[in-house]
Amino acid sequence: MADVDGVSRAIMTSKGKRKTAPAIDSANDLVPPLDYSFFSLTTSADALDEESRSPRGQKPKKTETGKSPAKCVRINNNNIAELDDLDLTLGKMLERPEDVSWLDLSFNEIVKIDPVLTHYDNLQILYLHGNGIADLREVDKLAACKGLKKLTLHGNPIDAIKGYRHYVLSKLPDLRVLDFSNVTKADRATANCWSNMNGINKKPKKKKEED
């Protein structure tokens, strides 16, 4: 299996040969992320008025429609508080916005996790560290992101809440990496135990119908 921290692991094939599995972070299509970091954006739509940074001065790749084939978008280190225009923004930027696999929204002014993030079924990596999320229950919304494997939330007020890591792992059981730290079997077992003790995922009992 591939290491979601960006390190590919060598795996053995049936013939005993080593085969390298690509990491989640790896750019298999060789298309670099669209990078709109440090632009002092106040909304994600403001990125449409900017030119994405490209490595080594290369021009961003575009399709015949003039949109980017990228699957990764960085809008970190800005002043964004709301994400209600994210669908519109990615729809204008990307050839296939539904294929977005990595969003970097770290170091903004986000205080709530907008349900718009659940619209992307292929989202595997989401960076939200360094924002202003203070309510642990906001994490519950990300349970709809079934493919999410790597998440960052450190640097938000919620990471100072007792049981923060246990809560996140109990709500998102398929995460492999949280806050750049691999999720171990021990982490998962502790989170499950903590969840059971605190009734985090306990379903409310149905009221008995009166005769």
Q: Compute how many other C-beta atoms are within 10 angstroms of the C-beta atom of residue 69.
A: 15
Higher pLDDT, 97 or 207: 97
Q: What is the pLDDT of residue 132?
A: 98
Q: Residue 63 pLDDT more than 50?
A: yes
Predicted TM-score (pTM) of the model is 0.82
182 strand-pairing partners: 177
Q: Which tens digit of pLDDT belongs to each residue from 169-179?
A: 999 999 999 99
Contact 165, 140 (CB under 8 A): no
Least confident of 60-64, 157-161, 170-174, 175-179: 60-64
Describe the strand order of the beta sheet including 125-127 as a list of residue ranges.
34-35, 72-74, 102-104, 125-127, 150-152, 177-178, 181-182
Q: Which tens digit of pLDDT belongs to each residue from 103-151?
A: 999 999 999 999 999 999 999 999 999 999 999 999 999 999 999 999 9
Q: What is the pLDDT of residue 66?
A: 92
Going by the DSSP 8-state scheme, the letter that residue 125 receives in this structure is E
Q: What is the pLDDT of residue 199?
A: 74
Q: Which tens digit of pLDDT belongs to each residue from 15-37?
A: 554 444 445 554 445 789 999 99
Q: Residue 5 pLDDT more than 50?
A: no
Q: What is the mean pLDDT of the chain?
A: 86
Q: What is the pLDDT of residue 118?
A: 96
